[in-house]
Structure 1
């Protein structure tokens, strides 16, 4: 029998419990930097060393953290459902937890590409410096979708959402587009579970919406228990 499709949209909140800081602090800065300094093509062009160092630090931090119970619980879903995780996060914690189908909307810290050859992606486990080039001689940069750049995986994510029998949204403010628009592509009858300690959606705004105002680890466990039975 064919498994029902579950699409899981995850944001910074699910990784926060592993010790990865959420997207921005209350003052709008990201690790003390203006967001456009370290997450835009203009910022990279202006000061590539600063941008590369910023992501080198993020990559080093990633090696010091581990998947949390929220990540691990999602793996259990695969026993009874066809699960696709669409994540806004650039970490690899879903992969390390054991989830098998993951779409990274905003790129991956553990990948890199040449500035002039964006479609040839390389694995990246160490630091990138000014002067490091790809096989075609182009300066390497993190495989991250910066502000002002296209989100190449959004069409793939939309296609998954249109087939979703169940949608789970975990740890995201639903303020960053185009990711926030994905909720509008699921069939009208699809049950939606929204898990966040400070939920930013109106429960009456969507049919079949269940809001669970909890952190990822406990909220996900509740939904998994309901769907899988353990």
Structure 2
């Protein structure tokens, strides 16, 4: 239900046909991203966790069906230190997503408790990507919360990523908030929590 709600927000706007997302092999994706992560110790550490335990990357199966929309959800979800506990998959936090709304290609992320804080403060969520068709690559910060609603955070448009198959991984930390009506002697206030993504969300998308 959370995925459907977040997806509905992301999919608002002018729609074009969604290209089919490519199958994702966690090891292959991590190796390709590692080749462009030189000098980025945080990204290297996140990808090293994938290569150390590729079986921990469990593809999503709950988003396979649905309307053809201009968004592609990463099939490998993220795991965090505050995610929903599960005896099989561990602490699932959320998933990355690639959108192409109004011709603007972006990476985004949804999931976690409450909503995503509009001001991320010291938290920093990043996407590392490489376009295997053009050879272009980059690291971008997800810090835009106005594109799809309070449960999705996105990058600014990345036109240089467009033009073929893109392998991407989202890692770092993210600040969530939810309204606590009992705070401040019943007056209510926001409660904040930082989640650390220790296992990145991986995807192979068509940009």
Alignment TM-score, normalising by the size of structure 2: 0.24
User: Which one has a larger percent helix, Structure 1 or Structure 2?
Assistant: 1
User: Which one has a larger percent strand, Structure 1 or Structure 2?
Assistant: 2
Larger radius of gyration: 1
